[in-house]
Copies of this chain bind each other. A is one copy, B any other.
Amino acid sequence: MGEFDLIERFFKRPPLRADVGIGDDCAVWSPRAGHQLAFSADMLVEGRHFLSTVEPARLGHKALAVNLSDLAACGATPQAFLLSLSLPRADESWLSGFSQGLFQLADAHGCELIGGDTTQGPLNIAITVMGELPQGQSILRSGAQAGDDLYVSGHLGDARLALEAFRGAISLPQAVFDAARLRMEMPSPRVALGIALRGIAHAMADISDGLLGDLGHILKASHVGAEIELPSTSALMQTTHHWSCPPDLAQTCVLSGGDDYELVFCAPPLASASVHAAAQASGTRVTRIGRITAEPALVLLDAQGQVVHSRFRSFDHFA
């Protein structure tokens, strides 16, 4: 199977909204008047972002999901993506699974594959995604204000729990492992929630490197600090509902787990009802975990409101 057959068989589909899709030197796209475009790019490398044992369909899902999560973090509506793929060999069964998982998620979000590249080399998946925003409605990291409530979407820490089990650092009951592994391999980008929070959230980021690290980006960009009320984070792991996770491990997973692809955002207390309405409308759980402070520090508080010394740091690819 050659390069062009490979594209033809597994990736080329009739253009949906693109003027020109796959098959020319460039894709051509007509932007809608009154809208801005949001762009993000994420690259996944075998052994670093995923294990070689992952099912190809799950990998296809995840490669797009982590990109959609960035669009969600700006409140953008997914439109199109380009896929560059370096493969050790053109393995049909792998390609079939990968493209199936990829397109299943793409179709669920109306996000069209308009171009890309395929080549031979160590397995590497690079996606650039494009989304649409009504003019001036992007939700950036820089808008947090002292007094804002701090929220996270969905569940945190389960992906890290699965990673610890894969590493052999812990042993999990099979059902717990399967559930945690699903969270690690098939994250749900919170696109609907991101869109629903337009005009409500002051600042937002997606959680890919761990809650504390990604919240840190908001604090730095907004020149503010935050207090996290630890008791409010104790039920954030999905899998702890079915298993009694050691508290220290649970805290590590939730606060600095990574690979969560949830949203962390803040909104003024007066918008609390709107936040919960957005959560309900998008079918996404939202938990208030603290507040934004004027003092530019990230502080953890225990049940008594006392400061807990943090032992956490977030993930950095070159640290």
- As a 0/1 sequence over residues 53 to 90 of chain A, the CB contacts with chain B under 8 angstroms (1 = contact) are 00000000000000000110110100010111110011
Cβ of A244 within 8 Å of any chain B Cβ, yes or no, is no
Of residues 200 through 234 on chain A, the ones whose CB sits less than 8 Å from some CB of chain B are: 204-206, 221
Question: Which chain B positions have C-beta within 8 A of A89?
Answer: 318
User: Residue among A49, A73, A319 with the most chain B CB within 10 A?
Assistant: A319
Are the CB atoms of B4 and A316 closer together than 8 Å?
A: yes
Cβ of A174 within 8 Å of any chain B Cβ, yes or no, is no
Cβ of A52 within 8 Å of any chain B Cβ, yes or no, is no
Of residues 231 through 283 on chain A, the ones whose CB sits less than 8 Å from some CB of chain B are: none
Could you tell me the distance between the alpha carbons of A115 and B71 in the complex, rounded to whole angstroms? 13
Question: Which chain B positions have C-beta within 8 A of A20?
Answer: 138, 140
Are the CB atoms of B28 and A74 closer together than 8 Å?
A: yes
Question: What bracket does the count of chain A residues touching chain B fall in?
Answer: 35 or more
Chain B nearest CB, measured from A264 CB (Å): 11
Question: Which chain B positions have C-beta within 8 A of A297?
Answer: none
Are the CB atoms of B37 and A31 closer together than 8 Å?
A: yes
Interface residue from B30, B47, B138, B318 paired with A26 (Cβ < 8 Å): B138
A126 with B27, Cβ < 8 A, contacts A48-B120, A140-B20 known: no
Cβ of A135 within 8 Å of any chain B Cβ, yes or no, is yes
Could you tell me the distance between the alpha carbons of A76 and B37 in the complex, rounded to whole angstroms? 18
Cβ of A43 within 8 Å of any chain B Cβ, yes or no, is yes
Cβ of A24 within 8 Å of any chain B Cβ, yes or no, is yes
Copies of this chain, count = 2
Chain B nearest CB, measured from A285 CB (Å): 21
Of residues 285 through 310 on chain A, the ones whose CB sits less than 8 Å from some CB of chain B are: none
Chain B nearest CB, measured from A54 CB (Å): 16
Are the CB atoms of A90 and B318 closer together than 8 Å?
A: yes
Are the CB atoms of B121 and A70 closer together than 8 Å?
A: no
Chain B nearest CB, measured from A201 CB (Å): 12
Cβ of A118 within 8 Å of any chain B Cβ, yes or no, is yes
Could you tell me the distance between the alpha carbons of A19 and B85 in the complex, rounded to whole angstroms? 29
Question: Which chain B positions have C-beta within 8 A of A135?
Answer: 30
Cβ of A165 within 8 Å of any chain B Cβ, yes or no, is no
Could you tell me the distance between the alpha carbons of A205 and B20 in the complex, rounded to whole angstroms? 14
Could you tell me the distance between the alpha carbons of A58 and B217 in the complex, rounded to whole angstroms? 33
Question: Which chain B positions have C-beta within 8 A of A76?
Answer: 26
Question: Which chain B positions have C-beta within 8 A of A100?
Answer: none
Question: Which chain B positions have C-beta within 8 A of A25?
Answer: 40, 70-71, 73-74, 141, 204-206
Question: Which chain B positions have C-beta within 8 A of A117?
Answer: 41-43, 126
Are the CB atoms of B48 and A26 closer together than 8 Å?
A: no
Question: Which chain B positions have C-beta within 8 A of A206?
Answer: 25
Of residues 1 through 44 on chain A, the ones whose CB sits less than 8 Å from some CB of chain B are: 1-4, 6, 19-20, 23-31, 33, 35-43
Across the A-B interface, the 4 shortest Cβ-Cβ residue pairs: A45-B121, A126-B126, A25-B73, A128-B128
